[in-house]
Structure formats: structure tokens, C-alpha cells
Structure 1
Amino acid sequence: MQKKNSLLTEDIKRYNRYFWTWVIGVVAFVALIIVATGFGLFGELPSFRDLENPKSNLASIIYAEDKAELGTYYVQNRSNVRFKDISPNVINALVATEDVRFLEHSGVDFKRTFSIILYNLIGKKQGASTITQQLALNLFSEQAREKSTLKRIPQKLKELIVAVRLERNYTKEEIITMYLNTVDFGNNSFGIKAAARTYFNTTPAKLDPAQAATLVGILKGTSLYSPTRNPERSLGRRNLILRKMADENFISEAEAEKFKQESLGLKFNPASHSEGLATYFRAVLKKDIQQTLKELSITKADGTPYDLDRDGLKIYTTINTKMQRYAEESQIEYMKTLQKEFNAHWKGRDPFKGNENLIKQGMKRSDRYKALIEEGLSESEIEKNFNTPTQMEIFSWRGNIDTVMKPIDSIKYYKMILRNSLMSMDPNTGEIKAWVGGINFEHFKYDQVKMGTRQVGSTAKPFTYAVGIDNGYSPCYQVNNVPYTVTGYGEPWTPRGHVAKQGYLTLRQAMALSQNYITAWVMQQVGPESVAALIQRMGITSNVPPYPSIALGSFEASVFDMTGAYSAFVNHGVWTEPTYLLRVEDKNGNVLFERKPKVVVALNPQTAYIMTYMLKGVVEQGTGVRLRYRYGLTNPIGGKTGTTNDNSDGWFMAITPQLVTGIWTGCEDRAIHFRSTNLGEGANTALPIFAGFIKKVYADPSLGITKGDFEQPTGGISTVLDCNQYHQGAGGENQEGSSENLNERLGF
């Protein structure tokens, strides 16, 4: 018996020895694996510097004048937010669902890990990763979560090590903030800031418990629990999280029940480069910044170039969100009406008769044509493709239309769509407040504010008159309104024109009524070289040859340049470069570069003020008078309409003491246009958009745009502006009383 007990004791000792040897061996093996992982045997681990500066794709944010977000550039729509700007409801929902012991563990919750192992052994699969471990995977793993157990083990070990390191380097607040800034919420929304805006059109600070639970619920599966794709499943997940929040005493039982009765309440606002405010402006701005960074050789600390889609730059602009919205609204409101007029005007007629080449050009410029060429199709095969009906989505002012149409017919359709652009700026600072580069960025990407140039027509006339005023001519000086030929500057030039009023007209009347003959007479007195020089001093960057015809706007210019030029009239003759970008900062707020506008003294201050008086005449008694009689704008406003040959381009340049606005309207091709000047003139195609815009601006007192008059230059005005007191002078007869009101004569 004693021998038997002795043998039993030996067996127990042996088994204990085997057991502890096995346990120690396993522990030693695990420790060895962990040490090996720590030394990078199973892949490189992040360095201390990497932990201090975790890499993630951050969207660059565009800020408007009032610091509101105008848009983003992104590969992943992600913007960081600080802990204090996140609602406690989000933190509570996340902790209650993902990691209830988050505040207690040091990166790895061993207590939870062992209990999860037991659950998995009995077939109840559960995840054991803490929030810190999930952050480690999101930030520092080069791959997604592995499916294979063998591959997952080393990945898991790396997560454990990185999680512990993260806990040593960051506070709990910083860790949970980084986590919420990096996770994917679906619908191209990365981080809680983008998610709050995308799903509820709000900020993270304003999320209530139900909204927070909905967003945290998405993390279980961005597709499976998507509020937009699977709303019922998302609702169930939300209610489960509300239940857990109540269990952890983050909300009361009553609150949980109340919120569970509510619908998801989505205000879905998906991020898109083709949607939102100032889409054309944002596209131009991006190219500008990229070019500037390259030209100035501005790079990151490691020498690599900045990436606007990934590096989280902060871009500060001059755009005013309210004015931008008013400008876009005014464009949409009027262009819908104008397009109807245009369609009715051409009904039953073929606008392409004699312009068949436009269709072929449009075909060859299209993306479809380029794609078919790359596929190796012949011209005949491509032509057949363009004449085969196919399913497509087309633009309309009633919204996008899904239809079946021949691609060649879609080209004709788009050729008949009127385009429009608008820019409005502060003439004193040069800051651009509104930029509408086209009618729909999704369908028409080409920006017509800065990138496009068109003939400017009669909006060029004030440049010629300004040189005349600068040479001593009075706005009250009278000239006979008869055909006039300019000589001495190359071939003799006689402009075409109609006579709005026969006999002698003052220069102010002539410009107000946009009379070509008297404008040509002024050109004869001052010469095209001096006019071309002034135009260039006023910021027109396109080619302006010194020919007499530039008096009537035979040259092309952009809305951007023309608006900047007119600002010099208001700013006492000083041209201030139109500016839309103030500065660009990196993600940490370090300034990469700033913009300061160029300033050029283009005109004598008295001449500039007289030109504002001349331009007011256009609205008071000339081609812009409908601003008064139709739109009720009786405060001091100056302007100039412009209509090019065959009514191809309609312009309106408007000046007020605080805003200068330029507007252009026309089709893609100049050959497609209104057939009558009554419909195609700038007073009908462009002016009404300004009227709608400025009325909205005046109605918003927060903008501070008043209805005051233009300020005289320091020292006052020596020129007589009251034509009743003006005498023509040497060689001329007394012209008192010649400045009569033209409204009755013109039928206004």
C-alpha cells in the first residue's frame, strides 16, 4: 500500500512537472513570439515617430470667409475633430458597445480576452479587441483584418503590442478621439465629423443619443448596418445600442425607450465633388493650389509633395457662403425661364442648318468618341455607335432625366443648353465673394468665370470713354449721333449700329444708350493704343490688339478679368487684383503660403469717379433701365450691358459701392444663339440674374451691403457733372438743358 502510494505520488509529481513544463513552454513560446513580433520578425512595427504622427488620409478643408466649410478635397472623406467637439453621446455609445472597460485597461483587456476565448470554445463567436486594438489595426496595419487564423495570429500580436504602445503615448481621450477620426462609416464618410454631416447634416457635438447609436451601429458592418441601404437592420442595431447605453447608466431607461420609438431621422447629405456650394470655384481653386505648391517648391518635412486629397490642408478663401448661395439661386431661378424662352424661340426651326460641323466637332470632343477610338473602332463604326439609341442620363432644369437617346442627338441637345457664369467681388479689397462658373458642375465641368473667354461686346465701351474723360472731355460734351469712320489707325473703320436717339447726345447719354457711332468718335480722339494700354492696366490678361474695333469689344476676356477691371472704376482708379485664396496651412496650422493682391493705379481718381457717374446713367436712362422699372432697384447702381454680334454673348457688368459683379450668358458655341436682339441682348440674358442676386443681398442685413452712393475722391470733383450748367466751350455752342430725361422718349 505504501509502495502504491509512493508510485502515485511520483506519478502526480511527474504529471505536475509535465503540466508546468508545458505551461511554461507555452508561456515562453508566446513570450518569444511577442518578443519576435516586437523586433519586427512578422512585419515592421510603427516607430515612436509613427505613433506620434499616425498616417491617415485626411481631407483638405476649404473654409469660406466666415470660417464655414465650403467643401473638401479627399480620397477618403475624412476630417479630424477634437475630443471636446464630440458629443458625450457618441463616446458613451461606443464604449457601451465596443469596450465597457475602456477606461480601466491598458490597451489589452485580458479579463475580457479570456472570457471571450471561453465563449468561442463553446461556439459563441465574439470579438475581443479593445478600442485601442481596433485603432492600432486602423492606423498601422497595411492590410485589412485577416480571415485566416494562421495569418490573423501575427497580425493580432502586432495589434497587442501597438495597442500597449498607444496607451503609453496617448491619453484615453486622445485614443478614443483618434479612433472616431479614423473609422469608416460607409457612404464615403471616414471619421465622426464626416459621418455626422453625411447622415444627419450636423456636427459631432450636436448628435443626440439616437443619432450617436445609429452611427456607432454602422461600425459593426458598413454595408450590413447602413442606414441608407438596410434601414430596418440599422434601426434594430441602433435600438440594441440604446439598450446597452441604458445598462451602463449612460442614459436612463425612460430615455432609451423614448429614443427607440423614433425613426432613424436621416438627413442624408452625401459628400460629392459635384455637389454643394461653389463647385466650379473649388475645382479652379484646387488646380491653383497644386500649381502654387509646385512653383514655390513647397514640400513636406520628408521632401515629398503635398497631396490635397490626403494631407489635410486647411484652405482659407474669401468666398461668402451667403452671397454664394444667393448667386447660385439667382442663376437657377432665371436660367430656367431663359432656357424656356430659348427653346420656344427655336421651336420648329433647325439651329444646326449651316452649322452641321458643330455636331461633328462635338462628337470628336466627347468622352464617348475618345473611348471608342481607344477601343480601336473605325470612323464608320464610331458613327454607327453615335446613331444607335442607348440608355443615358441627361441634364435638365427639372432634374436629371434617364432616357434612351442617340448619342449624336444628345450632342445637339447639349449644344442648345444656355450656359451662364457670375462673379462678384469687393472692389476695395479685391476679395471675391461669389463665383458661379457654370450652370451644373456634374454635367458641364468647364469653368466660365476664369478659364473661359468670350467677346465682351459693349461692356468694353467704358474703357474708351474713360480715356476720353482722362483726356479732358466732359460727360456732358455733345457729339452728333451719326455714322462715323475712324481713320489713321490702319484700315478705315466704320462700326455698324442703330440710332436710339437722333441728333446731339452727351457722352453720358451715348454710353447709357450704348451708341456705337459716338463711341467710335471718342476712339478717333484718343487712339486705340491708349485704350488698349488702359485695358491692360485694368487687369485684362487676354490679347487686346490696338485696333479701333476694341472700342466695341471685339476682343475676348474672362468674367474674372472684366469684373476686376470694373472694380477700378469704383476703387478710385486703383485696380486691386481679384483674390479668392488667402492662405493655405498644413494640418497642424503651419502656414504654407499666403496671397496678397497686386495693386495698380490704372486711372486718375476723378476720372474713375466720373465713370461711376457715367455707368449710373446706363441704369437711370439707358440699356440697363429695367433694373429700375422691372426690378424696383432705385438706389445708386451703375452698369453696362453687352451684346456681341448675332446675339452670341450677353453680358452685364454691375457696380455698387461695395460690390462689383460680372455676368455672362451664351451657348457653348457662338453659332448657336438667339435670333433676335430683343431676347439675346445682355439686358435680357444677364442683367436679370444680377437683379435677383443683389435683391437677395440687400435683403440680408447681416451682409452689411448698403444702398449708399459712390464716394467722391479726396478733394472732390472739379468737373461739372450737372449738364444744365455745362457749356461746350471753345468752338462749341452753349448746350444748356441738353441732358433731358430719356425715359419717356424710349418708352420706359
Structure 2
Amino acid sequence: MSFFSIKKYNWLKIGLGIILSLITLLVLFYSSIYFGLWGKLPSKKDLSDLKQQQATQILDINNDLLGKVYRLDRQNITYKQFPKHLIDALIATEDARFYEHDGIDSRSLFRVFFKTILQADKSSGGGSTITLQLAKNLYGRKDYGYLSIVVNKLRESIVASRIEAIYSKKEILTLYLNTVPFSDNTYGIESAAQKFFNKTTQDLNLAEAATLIGSLKANHSYNPRLFPERSQLRRDVVITQMLKYNYITEKEAEEAMQNNILLDYQYYNPNQGIAPYFRAQVIKEANKIIAENKLVKANGKGYEIYTDGLKIHTTLDINLQQHAEAAVKKHLTKLQKAFEEAYGNLAPWKKDSALIYKTLKTTAYYKRLKQQKLSEQQLQDSLKLKRKIKVFNWEGNQTKNLSVLDSITHYLKFLNTGMLSIEPQIGGIRAYVGGINYNFFKYDHITQSKRQVGSTFKPIVYTTAIENGMPACTYYSNKAITYTDVDNWKPKNASKNNPSDLNYSLETALSNSINTIAVKVMHDTGIEKTIDMAKAMGITSSIEPVPAIALGVSSFSVLELATAYTTFVNQSIPSQAYFITKIEDKNGKLLYQHKPKTSTQKAYSDHTRQIMLEMMKETVNSGTARRLRSTFNLPNAIAGKTGTTQDNKDGWFVGITPNLVNIIWVGNDQQIGFKTTRQGQGAKSALPIFGYFMQALNNNPDFNSITKANFENSTPKVLEELSCPPTKEDGFLKRIFGKKEDEKQSFKKDEEKKKGFFDFLKKKK
């Protein structure tokens, strides 16, 4: 053998050795990944039982979506719910040979490997099949340094092969579309369809489906909310691909591309969207239900609201809620402006430094500064430092350059509200407005806040009196009396429209909310009996046994007051309010069903209830709530009660219809009262919200069951008992020898004297 032949043979041998070594290295490298040396790979068993985090849905009474709770916004659906053009768009754009391969595109895989290793081309990725992308979506990628792309690609190829061995092509598409990340932290096609177009996946048209599929290439860069023009160009690329592979005709392609993208974006953020206060309370209630009922999954672990894809069915009616929120906004936008104008430059949020600093000291920012042990000058400088912040305004949120002190003075001025609508027969909450804006004011004024209830307590006083035997046609003078054993307390009337030389029937006194008479009625009935009645009607808050409770100095939540008022249209029985009707798991399996707490324990008699309802009807027809008839022109069957507290700090209105009890509170969180009673009384501050709300319902035939309902007919006996003149004069002798206006009495002693007499009347009745 010649020298050159030997040399050629040696080079060939070396070359083959190198190739074999490389192959061996590749096999060993691949084996090291396959057997988990770079991290454990999911087995076929793991893959056959995929459990991905899913968003929990909060649904209204009609199964409409109120919002979602999630760590990852994902919501699974079945293959049957995918429209054909969605599948076609996905395959045409992401994996044209999807039905032909076994999950791995070998050419693409080797291209990535060799370009990355030999040419250090980090941009060589791409060409992944749908199954490879699914593997990446399910298990993510890890950092392996220089070899990251290669290791991750090979790991994904192994997982993809196992997926293809377990699942059909339809199942793979279902898994992929339910897990793939879309724009705005949204996972899965159903969540994306609802977020961007406010519709289910099966209702997406061709252009909408192409828009969402187009965003998969780069879900930020092609976000249709942030970059509509760029997203539209990408949409058209998808449609062109569909045309290329004969999934659609030229005409269909042209029609789909001729219009701009039209979004109907839904904010499923807890701080935004419809009924945010209600949704926050539902989460609390759901967690409580899960704990109390010990609801657990097959693995023995308790359900997790943020990850387990539950379906929480609630009592809320999304359409009623929209009208409630619109009514609040319509009235408070105007009321806030009037509130600020009434104070002008002397407003306490501008001039009351004690109030400003009292509020400042409650802020987290101030507490952090105090912990830093700054000098007084440094502290003041920090508080005056301005920065750009977004602030709430009814006209639209604005970004302003404000200091912490500026921000406090801005927010101190706002009026807030709590509005609750409850179905009295069963306790289902139909509308729930816990405040003016959850993003800026998270304090819930329905369940968390307790405020003095003012004259809305008076029906409890009168109910107690009627139930304890006081005739409905009892008359009282509204002359003021000084009660010597109560620090010479002398209750007065807010209005001067009721002459003091007349006597008023109970109905007239209640409908016109006469303070002096409410106190006298309770004086004659008994404080303890009144408190007992309040408890029987569903009030759970502590009530101090003082005469002033007749005027509503006790503080209740909106929810408590609503419970008490349901008795007037629920056979004298307080309804137990509830939020959730049932909870299902992600597969629709029933986990919890609400069972109404039925009670036959009446708080008072049907006779008393009918009398009280007639009295509160008169409040609307001719009393303090007559604006509902004169200004808002409401023809509905309505009973009600207005309420105002001392210094006009709280305005209340209770609107009772046969099938809906509505409680509305308006006030300032720092208890800055209205400048005048004319502006701050419940009839002006709270009642208009109910007026606008009912007007909207009257214009919608879907709510006929509420708006056209009538109260039960009162018995002839009740009507006869109420058939007395609203007022009458004292007799001649009483006018001459009767008690004077400056009369003084002992509340407790006189109350004891009367107690036996009214007990006798009750027995006689």
C-alpha cells in the first residue's frame, strides 16, 4: 500500500471516528434528556391526566358572565365549541402539515440544532408544530445556558411524541387552544374570545378568529387592544394563509379583510367591570362555603378559587345591576358638583387641617415615613413632593401632578354610596353597588360600613306600637317636649311644614317623618319592646336603649336594614340575604346548592304588616317621598321611607316594591355633612337614585315582573282602621287647658306608667 493510500485511509478512519463520536455524543445527549438528567419529563401517565389552572367564572342569575377570578386567565371548552374557521386559521398559520406528521417536524428540529451549535444563530428557532407548541405551553422552558434552545427543543420533541401517542388530533387541538397564551395575560381561546370580543368562541366570525390566531406569533406585538393596525395586518396574513391552503374562497377572504378590527373589550380585573363590590363579596362567600362544607377534590385537597376553574352561580341580575350602576352615576355626578359648590372655598377638605392630617395619619405612605424617623421638616417635604398619579373623577379619571396632601384633599370631598336590591321572598341579591368606584374606593358600603340610619328606623318604632295594640288612628301633637331625665333632650322637627297646633294620625306622622311624634310613639310603646322588634326583624347590630333611637341614632349596615324591610313584603318574616345559588366544578359537577333558610317565625302579625305597608305607601303618595310621583312620574306600586341623620351626614331611601326591596345610602366617608338639609335630606341625596333606577326598569319590558307587580290587597278591617282624617284639632277645653309647648316630662317614668296600659290593649286586641 502506498504512502498516499495509507494517509487517505487514516484520514477516512479519523473522519469516521469523528462522525461516530458525534453520533454517540448526540445519542448520549439525547438519552440524557430522555432519561431526565436535564430535569424530569412528564410520563405518559402524567400527560393522560393533565390538570391545568383554570379561571373561576362568576355567573349571574341568567348564567351571564359577571367576571372571572384567576392566576392564569384560562377557561377550557370542548372541540365541538370551536368553529371550523378557527381550526382552519390555526392550521394554515401555525402548522400546515398538522394532520400528516406525528408531532415532530424533523427538518425544522435539525435546522435549529445545527444552526444553533455550528453557527451560533440564536434566531434559528421556529418551525415548531402545534404539538411541540403545546408541549411548551404545558411545561414551559428552563434556562440551560448556551444549550437552552437545543435542550428545550429536544425535551419538547419527546413530550410531543408522547402527546401524539396518547391523544387524537382533535384532542391535541383542544388542549392547544385551551392552553395557548393570548394577549393581556389571557390563556385559552375561550377566555380570549370573551375578553376581546365579549362573545363565546363558537360565536367568533372569521375575522375575529383570524385576529386571535394571528396574535399567537407574538401576543404582545400583535395585541389588538394595544396595536390595532399591526394586529390587523397580522390578521390579514392569517386570512391569506387560509386562502393559500384552500380553506376559504377569495370572496370570503376579501369580506373578512375589508373591515377594521372592532373590539368589545371586557375587563375581568377584580377592580374593574360590572359589579366589582359584589364579586369581591362572592369570593369571600365562596371561600366560606368551601370551608364550611368541606368541599374537596379527588386528591383530598380543598378547592382553590383562583386555580380550579369553578363556576359560581350567583343571585345577581346583570341587567338590573347595569341599571343600578347607571342610576348611581347619573345622580351622584350632579350631586357631587352641587355638594362642592355649596361649600365653595370654605370646604372642610380644603380648610380643615385637623381633618386632613387625621386622614393623612391613616395612610400607609405616612406610616412608612414615620418609621424612617425623619425630622419634621423632612417629613413635610416628603408629603409635599409631587408626582404623577391617576385620580378618580366623575367626568373621567385623570392623571395629575399631586403631592400626598393634594391627593388626600382631592379624595376627602367625594360622596359615596351603597345601593342594594334584594328579592324579599327568598333573599336573593339582585343588584349591589358597594361604592362609587372599586378601583379607588374599595370600602364596601353594603356589608362593611355601618352608618346612623335616621328616620328609616321609624317604621320599626311604628310597627312595634301597632303590634302592641296602639290603634292606627291614634293622634299625636307634634309639639316639642323636653325629657328631663335624658339630659333635658328636646327633639325637634326638621321641617316646619307641619303646624304644631294640630294632631296627626300615625299614618300622617310617619309619612311626613315627624320627629317629635316618633319619640312620643316609642315613649308610649317602650324602648325595650322597640329593640326586641328590631331584632325580630333581622337587625343584628347593637342598639343602645336610649330615647334617641326613635330618630335613628343607631348604626346599621345597608344589608341589615334591607333584611328588616323585607318583612313588609314577605309575610312579616325577615329574608336571609344570600349571594350564591350553587357552585360547580370545571366539569359541571354540582358541589354546592343553596338551600333557602325557610322560617315561619313572624316578627309581627299580618294585620300590623298591612297597616305599615299602607302607611309607607302614603309616604310615597303624599309624604316625604312624593317626588317619586311628581318628579319621576313613577306609576308603580311603591312604598318607602326617607331618612336623614344629624348634620345631614347620611341620606337614606328605602324603596319597597312587591318583588324588590331597595336600600340606598349616600354620604361622605369622613362624615362631612351636606351644607344644608335641603340638599342633604334623603329625599334629595338618596331617593333620586331609586327614581332613575325605576324609570329605567319601567322602560324595559323584561322587568315587568318587578314594575307591574301589585301589593297584596289589605283587608277591609285594615282599611277601616286607617280611614280617619290625617289631622285634627284639639277640643276647646284641651286648647285652653292642655299642655304647653315647653312641657317637660320624664321619659323613663312615663314609659313605665304606659306599659301596663298597652299590654292591656294588646291582650284586648
* TM-score when normalising by structure 2: 0.86
- Residues 216, 508 of structure 1: alpha-carbon distance in 2 compared, 3 angstrom cutoff: same
- The amino acid that maps onto 2:406 is D
- The amino acid that maps onto 1:104 is E
Contact 2:475 2:504 in 1 (8 A): yes
Equivalent-residue separation in structure 2 for 1:242 and 1:336 (angstroms) = 46
- For 2:242, the equivalent position in structure 1 comes to 245
Does the alignment pair 1:619 with 2:620? yes
Structural mapping, 1:363-402, within 5 Å:
363-373=360-370, 375=372, 377-402=374-399
Equivalent-residue separation in structure 2 for 1:79 and 1:72 (angstroms) = 9
Equivalent-residue separation in structure 2 for 1:487 and 1:598 (angstroms) = 45
Equivalent-residue separation in structure 1 for 2:520 and 2:724 (angstroms) = 24
Look up the SS of the partner of 2:319 in the other structure.
helix
Equivalent-residue separation in structure 2 for 1:247 and 1:34 (angstroms) = 37
Given the alignment, which residue of 439, 442, 445 partners 1:445?
A: 442
Contact 1:570 1:609 in 2 (8 A): no
Task: Give a deviation string over 1:329-367, Cα, whole Å, max 9, x none.
Answer: 000001011111111111132435995322112101223
Contact 1:657 1:710 in 2 (8 A): yes
Does the alignment pair 1:517 with 2:509? no
- Residues 392, 335 of structure 1: alpha-carbon distance in 2 compared, 3 angstrom cutoff: same
Equivalent-residue separation in structure 2 for 1:306 and 1:288 (angstroms) = 14
**How far is 1:720 from its partner?**
4.0
Look up the SS of the partner of 1:719 in the other structure.
helix
Structural mapping, 1:417-496, within 5 Å:
417-484=414-481, 494-496=490-492
- For 1:698, the equivalent position in structure 2 comes to 698
**How far is 1:698 from its partner?**
2.2
Given the alignment, which residue of 74, 79, 84 partners 1:78?
A: 74
**How far is 1:134 from its partner?**
1.1
Equivalent-residue separation in structure 1 for 2:243 and 2:144 (angstroms) = 33
Contact 2:643 2:651 in 1 (8 A): yes
**How far is 1:242 from its partner?**
1.5
- Residues 26, 405 of structure 1: alpha-carbon distance in 2 compared, 3 angstrom cutoff: closer
Does the alignment pair 1:177 with 2:178? no
**How far is 1:559 from its partner?**
0.8
More deviation in 125-134 or 449-458?
A: 125-134
- The amino acid that maps onto 2:340 is N
**How far is 1:220 from its partner?**
1.3
Task: Give a deviation string over 1:88-121, Cα, whole Å, max 9, x none.
Answer: 2221111111111222323224466568779999
- For 2:742, the equivalent position in structure 1 comes to none
Structural mapping, 1:465-614, within 5 Å:
465-484=462-481, 494-498=490-494, 500-502=497-499, 503-600=502-599, 601=601, 602-614=603-615
Contact 1:487 1:524 in 2 (8 A): no
**How far is 1:402 from its partner?**
1.9
**How far is 1:622 from its partner?**
0.7
Equivalent-residue separation in structure 2 for 1:394 and 1:148 (angstroms) = 45
- The amino acid that maps onto 1:699 is N
Task: Give a deviation string over 1:616-657, Cα, whole Å, max 9, x none.
Answer: 011011100111111111332100000000100000011000
Contact 2:271 2:439 in 1 (8 A): yes
Look up the SS of the partner of 1:654 in the other structure.
strand
- For 1:97, the equivalent position in structure 2 comes to 93
- Residues 526, 52 of structure 1: alpha-carbon distance in 2 compared, 3 angstrom cutoff: farther
Equivalent-residue separation in structure 2 for 1:140 and 1:354 (angstroms) = 59
Contact 1:542 1:557 in 2 (8 A): yes
- Residues 644, 49 of structure 1: alpha-carbon distance in 2 compared, 3 angstrom cutoff: farther
Contact 1:213 1:238 in 2 (8 A): yes
Look up the SS of the partner of 1:365 in the other structure.
coil
* TM-score when normalising by structure 1: 0.88
- Residues 591, 383 of structure 1: alpha-carbon distance in 2 compared, 3 angstrom cutoff: farther
Equivalent-residue separation in structure 2 for 1:644 and 1:458 (angstroms) = 8
Structural mapping, 1:123-272, within 5 Å:
125=124, 127-141=126-140, 143=141, 148=145, 150-272=147-269
Equivalent-residue separation in structure 2 for 1:331 and 1:270 (angstroms) = 20
Task: Give a deviation string over 1:106-152, Cα, whole Å, max 9, x none.
Answer: 322446656877999998945232111211111124x35x5855233
Structural mapping, 1:49-68, within 5 Å:
49-68=45-64
**How far is 1:717 from its partner?**
5.9
Percent identical among aligned pairs is: 37
Contact 1:239 1:260 in 2 (8 A): yes
Look up the SS of the partner of 1:575 in the other structure.
coil
Structural mapping, 1:5-20, within 5 Å:
none
**How far is 1:299 from its partner?**
4.1
- For 2:275, the equivalent position in structure 1 comes to 278
- For 2:763, the equivalent position in structure 1 comes to none
**How far is 1:369 from its partner?**
1.7
Higher relative contact order (CA 8 A, sep 6+): 2
Contact 1:485 1:520 in 2 (8 A): no
- Residues 314, 297 of structure 1: alpha-carbon distance in 2 compared, 3 angstrom cutoff: same
Look up the SS of the partner of 1:705 in the other structure.
helix
- For 1:42, the equivalent position in structure 2 comes to 38
- Residues 727, 687 of structure 1: alpha-carbon distance in 2 compared, 3 angstrom cutoff: closer
**How far is 1:462 from its partner?**
0.3
More deviation in 612-621 or 253-262?
A: 253-262
Equivalent-residue separation in structure 2 for 1:247 and 1:727 (angstroms) = 85
- For 1:741, the equivalent position in structure 2 comes to none
Structural mapping, 1:278-357, within 5 Å:
278-351=275-348, 355-357=352-354
- The amino acid that maps onto 1:63 is L
Task: Give a deviation string over 1:413-471, Cα, whole Å, max 9, x none.
Answer: 21111111100011111101000000111111111011111000000000011111112
Equivalent-residue separation in structure 2 for 1:292 and 1:454 (angstroms) = 28
Given the alignment, which residue of 99, 102, 106 partners 1:106?
A: 102
- Residues 718, 308 of structure 1: alpha-carbon distance in 2 compared, 3 angstrom cutoff: same
Task: Give a deviation string over 1:191-210, Cα, whole Å, max 9, x none.
Answer: 21222233333332222222
> Where do 5+ consecutive residues of structure 1 fail to align?
734-748
Contact 1:59 1:310 in 2 (8 A): yes
**How far is 1:494 from its partner?**
4.2
- For 1:655, the equivalent position in structure 2 comes to 656
- The amino acid that maps onto 1:390 is R
Contact 1:183 1:191 in 2 (8 A): yes
- Residues 117, 154 of structure 1: alpha-carbon distance in 2 compared, 3 angstrom cutoff: closer
More deviation in 43-52 or 277-286?
A: 43-52
- For 1:686, the equivalent position in structure 2 comes to 686
Look up the SS of the partner of 1:517 in the other structure.
helix
Contact 1:631 1:691 in 2 (8 A): yes
**How far is 1:179 from its partner?**
1.1
- The amino acid that maps onto 2:269 is S
- Residues 34, 662 of structure 1: alpha-carbon distance in 2 compared, 3 angstrom cutoff: same
Contact 1:651 1:685 in 2 (8 A): yes
More deviation in 29-38 or 611-620?
A: 29-38
Contact 1:527 1:548 in 2 (8 A): no
Number of corresponding residues? 719
Equivalent-residue separation in structure 2 for 1:335 and 1:368 (angstroms) = 29
More deviation in 185-194 or 380-389?
A: 380-389
- The amino acid that maps onto 1:590 is K
Equivalent-residue separation in structure 1 for 2:653 and 2:247 (angstroms) = 60
> Where do 5+ consecutive residues of structure 2 fail to align?
733-765
Backbone CA RMSD of aligned residues: 3.3
- The amino acid that maps onto 1:341 is A
Equivalent-residue separation in structure 1 for 2:726 and 2:342 (angstroms) = 48
Equivalent-residue separation in structure 1 for 2:351 and 2:633 (angstroms) = 42
Equivalent-residue separation in structure 1 for 2:134 and 2:374 (angstroms) = 51
Contact 1:217 1:225 in 2 (8 A): yes
**How far is 1:26 from its partner?**
6.5
**How far is 1:305 from its partner?**
4.3
Contact 1:188 1:271 in 2 (8 A): no
